Amino acid sequence: MPLYEGLGGIGLINEKNITVIIDFGSSYTKAGFAGETGPRVITKSEVKCRETGKIVPVFEAKDDEELRHHLVDFIHKLYFRNLLVNPKDRRVVVVENLLGPSSVRNAIAKVLSLLFVPSHLVSLMTLGMNTGLVVDLGYNETTVVPIYESVPILSAWQALPLGGKAIHSSLCELLLDRALTVGEDGKEQRLSAVVEQLSDKVLEDIKARTCFVTSLDRSGRLQNNKYDRAVEPPPPPPSVQYPMSGSRILTLPGSVREMVTEILFERDEDMLSVPSMILNSLMKCPIDTRRALAENLVLIGGTASLKGMKHRILSEVRALVTSPPFSDVLQINSFKVHHPPAKDNYVAWLGGAILGGTEAVVLRSLPRDQYIINDTVPDWCNLAFNTKDEHDEKSA
């Protein structure tokens, strides 16, 4: 039975060779050992390309063969430079997004003998819960998957390309438009006159050190001022000095620090945003599960760790549920957010580490010889692994 069908009756085991837990992310990868409270290493998902010699993202490849080479080199670095263990005779748990591409999981299976576990499902294990609506705010996208009694409700999943990457794009655009720099000569210039683009590394550092998520009230006043200059905006936060390369100093306006994450909450042409995704997911769930899911929201991922993010999402959801079309379907007035016992960016890894200490690793792993025979990985979107056969129906 594939793991996405749920977890039940799993007991603890004591393995001689501790299971390795790997959580591959589009921006960062977390790796460590089962039973530990945190990953041994959190590293950029980058590798040196064999053809060009340049550092490239692991999961950006022109074909499956190049992707396999990237994974071989990257996993080799994880084992022999970071984890310092021999990969032979060690079981591996890979924490994956249920909505991730099948080509990636097949490429990983060609490199490792392993067990795939859904990141949304195992995240609840860190809280000792079996029901919750898990919102993963990652780098490339935000995904929402409700879990009820340890079973993912796959018909209610939601996903949007809103995450760290979207914030980086917004931050770069705002900085080039509004930020000022001061060089060695003390002359003040617009940032756009000095550089045409900022690297992701610099943008991420600026985001993590200086930016925050503003409150719902301040956001509303800023939006009203945007469309009606007669409305007075709230006083901006203080500006921040950020050192760039050499002796150049970048001045970040307070308005940029505050507005950069608004892209996650502004509805697009389809009236979708991160808060509306949560409510849309609840609307697709069975009616008797909605209240329990709404009272057990779990926000994970690196983007969720931004200051004020959880409070803002909770405020937005509470305000949005009182307006159509949600008020017509969802008769819910109680939303609560859990705080897992780990940093937001490795909650899913910790869930995998907890699972890695159970007998599920032995019972549900995909052995190398079995993969070679079938040349396929159990996948929820493949009907061959997601339907009952005639024998099962007769025995039932």
What pLDDT digit, counting tens, does each position of 283-293 carry? 999 999 999 99
Q: What is the mean pLDDT of residues 119-134?
A: 94
- Predicted confidence band of residue 306 (pLDDT cuts 50, 70, 90): very high
Q: What is the mean pLDDT of residues 24-51?
A: 92
Regarding predicted confidence, which is higher, 245 or 393?
Answer: 245
What would the two tokens of residue 204 be?
């991420």
pLDDT at 40: 94
Percent of the chain with pLDDT over 70: 85
pLDDT at 252: 92
Residues 266, 272, 275: CA angle, nearest 5 degrees: 75
> Which range among 76-85, 112-121, 167-176, 299-308 shows the weakest confidence by mean pLDDT?
112-121
pLDDT at 105: 80
Write down all domains in the chain, each with its CATH number in brackets.
Answer: 3-127+344-395 (3.30.420.40), 164-264 (3.90.640)
pLDDT at 320: 93
For residue 39, give the nearest of 101, 112, 95 by alpha carbon: 95
What is the Cα–Cα distance from 210 to 307, expressed in whole angstroms? 10
Whether the pLDDT of residue 61 is over 70: the answer is: yes
What is the Cα–Cα distance from 146 to 166, expressed in whole angstroms? 24
- Predicted confidence band of residue 127 (pLDDT cuts 50, 70, 90): very high
Whether the pLDDT of residue 113 is over 90: the answer is: no
- What is the DSSP secondary-structure string of 316-336? HHHHHTTSTTHHHH-------
What is the Cα–Cα distance from 140 to 200, expressed in whole angstroms? 13
pLDDT at 115: 79
Percent of the chain with pLDDT over 90: 53
pLDDT at 393: 47
- Predicted confidence band of residue 73 (pLDDT cuts 50, 70, 90): very high
Whether the pLDDT of residue 230 is over 80: the answer is: no
For residue 47, give the nearest of 98, 89, 81, 20 by alpha carbon: 81
pLDDT at 168: 95
For residue 97, give the nearest of 20, 154, 165 by alpha carbon: 154
Residues 6+ apart with CB under 8 A from 33: 18, 19, 20, 21, 40, 83, 353, 356
Residue 341 DSSP label = S
pLDDT at 311: 95
CA distance to 15, 33, 115, 279, 344, per residue, from 90 (Å): 10, 10, 12, 41, 27
**Contact status, residue 44 vs residue 58, Cβ threshold 8 Å:** no
> Which range among 84-88, 139-143, 150-154, 353-357 shows the weakest confidence by mean pLDDT?
84-88
Q: What is the mean pLDDT of residues 377-389?
A: 59
pLDDT at 247: 80
What is the Cα–Cα distance from 330 to 369, expressed in whole angstroms? 49
HEC sequence for 10-65: CCECCCCCCCEEEECCCCEEEEEECCCCCCCEEEECEEECCCCCCEEECCCCCCHH
Whether the pLDDT of residue 17 is over 80: the answer is: no
What is the Cα–Cα distance from 105 to 127, expressed in whole angstroms? 27
Kindly report the number of other CB atoms within 10 A of residue 262's CB atom: 18
Average pLDDT, the chain: 85
Q: Model-level pTM?
A: 0.86
pLDDT at 395: 45
**Contact status, residue 315 vs residue 151, Cβ threshold 8 Å:** no
What is the Cα–Cα distance from 257 to 239, expressed in whole angstroms? 8
Q: What is the mean pLDDT of residues 279-286?
A: 95
Whether the pLDDT of residue 15 is over 70: the answer is: no
Predicted confidence (pLDDT) per residue in 133-166, tens digit: 999 999 999 999 999 998 899 899 999 999 999 9
Q: What is the mean pLDDT of residues 348-358?
A: 90
**Contact status, residue 61 vs residue 79, Cβ threshold 8 Å:** no
> Which range among 4-18, 108-122, 213-227, 307-321 shows the weakest confidence by mean pLDDT?
4-18
